[in-house]
Structure 1
Amino acid sequence: MTRGALKDEDRVLWSLVAKTATPLKGKVAVAVPEPVPSAPEPPVAATRPVPGTAAPTPKAKAPRVSHNLDEPTLEKLSRGRLPIEGRVDLHGLTQQEAYSLLFSFLYRAHAGGARYVLVITGKGSSSGGDGVLRRSVPAWLSTPAFRHLVSSHDHASRQHGGSGALYVRLRRTRP
């Protein structure tokens, strides 16, 4: 990686931090441009829906998704017998930022051969309601855009974030 080149998730995180910073006395604030994804799009990117819109119907028959992990796998993950090969934290992001970050993270993890990853959504607002990302992320993982990446997902165990996190099993890469 060259100096100054940021990954998509780093760029999103940096823009969030830069928006909260105040300039020093006598200095002018620098405008922070909105992050523009620069990662190569996967072949199915044309069918990727925007959060809040209806997903287009796939023309080819997509693989069937089992949303829940099987009990033995869930137990091994919760006890640390299966490694979690990556994690992404979506706290404080908007739905659009979280969707883009999640998709790019899962795409890279899948391409890198990772099998199990942890997605941290947070538990939501303190006013007693479910968080937006806590409700949205499982729905996104079931859409056609994620179907070629995700095999199954389930709520994480308490030590990995409980209901504020998800274990995600990625599909095996085909040679």
Structure 2
Amino acid sequence: MMKTLERYQKCNYGAPETNVSTREALELSSQQEYLKLKARYEALQRSQRNLLGEDLGPLNSKELESLERQLDSSLKQIRSTRTQYMLDQLTDLQRKEHLLNEANKTLKQRLVEGYQVNPLQLNPNAEDVGYGRQPPHQPQGDGFFHPLECEPTLQIGYQPDPISVVTAGPSVNNYMTGWLQ
């Protein structure tokens, strides 16, 4: 029974002492981690300022050479990435050009075939519909080529009306008859 009581006392009364020491150890490690992170943050800030060309005065020649090598390698990587991007764009544009050329050839071939099936027929009588072009007899079923239907010739100009023709001289009542109608 005595052993049980001792264990009970250790668990109830001995634990807070160990809990306090573990809590203090945890706080201490957290504080040390904070200080390490703060120092790392300041070093990164200083490095960023150096890369931007600021605060270079306190650097020695080895640090400056290291900074120069770092900038050169970064510049090479940036140029390489940019060149690769431009080559990818060029390849894509060449592929699109090839597709457009193929589509253009196909359309030209269909256009030539359309003219062979339904050629333009010139009519000597210019007053016919479509400026001398006879309308097609049947529309084509092709989805790309539809011949345009022309409108009849538009007659623009003055058409004299025989009723409203004005005589050259005054009438019986000395009024111009063309003006009073």
TM-score, normalised by the number of residues in structure 1: 0.16
Q: Please say which structure displays the higher CA radius of gyration.
A: 2
Higher percent of residues as helix: 2
TM-score of the pair, normalised by structure 2: 0.16
| More RCO (CA 8 Å, sep 6+) | 1
Q: Structure 1 or 2: larger strand share? A: 1
